[in-house]
A and B are shown apart, each in its own frame.
Chain A
């Protein structure tokens, strides 16, 4: 069953702008991960944030987690055309140890 839901479904920005994607989930989680998928390819892991963490950084990526609102956001700063891809959040929760993915946000960065 689906746990995470990304918002917006699609986002189009100019190169150099920041991109923010959100993920909401329904039940308490153990951790939350963000993945990226280029068209027709496999998913690539970006970052993992644990339920007791509030913010994590990796290069131009910044992930926040608000467990009280059951939501997470992924911020990509100074976007590039190469950032064009679909971005998915995935969660593990309780006894359900397997990752459950959302439907993804399609990000298009225009040169």
Chain B
């Protein structure tokens, strides 16, 4: 247990479903991140929240919608996904602000998403 908890651990959904991934950190960190990990590819940074404000959005399709209601919680809302969106979605947090450039990330165990 790293202090970053992701739920659910596994999710299977159809292309017309709406679901959400949840991330919670108990470390008192100030920044939270969503990464996508697909097979044989580098980790892709999707969204960054620093002090509850979104500071980066790497041209992610609008079918992915993040929400950060407070500094401890981060959601990724999913709707009308495609099969190529199947991947491991990793949440991470860091102590310093997201723009500090020397952040060590603490990752959750990930949510394995399968889109049928």
Residues of A within 8 A of B (CB): 2, 30-31, 33, 35, 40-45, 48, 50, 88, 92, 97-104
Contact = CB atoms under 8 A, between A and B. Distances in A.
A98 B100 CA distance: 9
B30 interface: no
A97 B98 contact: yes
Contact of B101 (A35, A41, A97): A97
A104 B88 CA distance: 15
B69 interface: no
A100 B41 CA distance: 12
Given A48-B104, A92-B101, 18 more contacts: A31-B101, A40-B88, A42-B90, A42-B107, A42-B109, A42-B110, A43-B43, A43-B90, A44-B2, A44-B107, A45-B104, A45-B105, A45-B106, A92-B102, A97-B98, A97-B99, A98-B98, A101-B42
Contact of A97 (B40, B100, B107, B108): B100
Interface residues of B, number: 28
B73 interface: no
Given A2-B42, A88-B43, A98-B56, A42 B98 contact: no
B88 A43 contact: no
SS class of chain B's interface: helix, strand, loop or mixed? loop
Nearest to A41: B109
Interface string B43-58: 1010010000000100
Contacts of B110: 40-42
A74 to B, nearest CB: 16
Nearest to B107: A42
B112 interface: yes
26 contacts: A30-B101, A33-B104, A35-B105, A40-B110, A41-B109, A42-B4, A42-B6, A42-B90, A42-B109, A44-B107, A45-B104, A45-B105, A48-B102, A92-B103, A97-B100, A97-B101, A98-B33, A98-B56, A99-B103, A99-B105, A100-B42, A100-B45, A101-B42, A101-B43, A103-B42, A104-B42
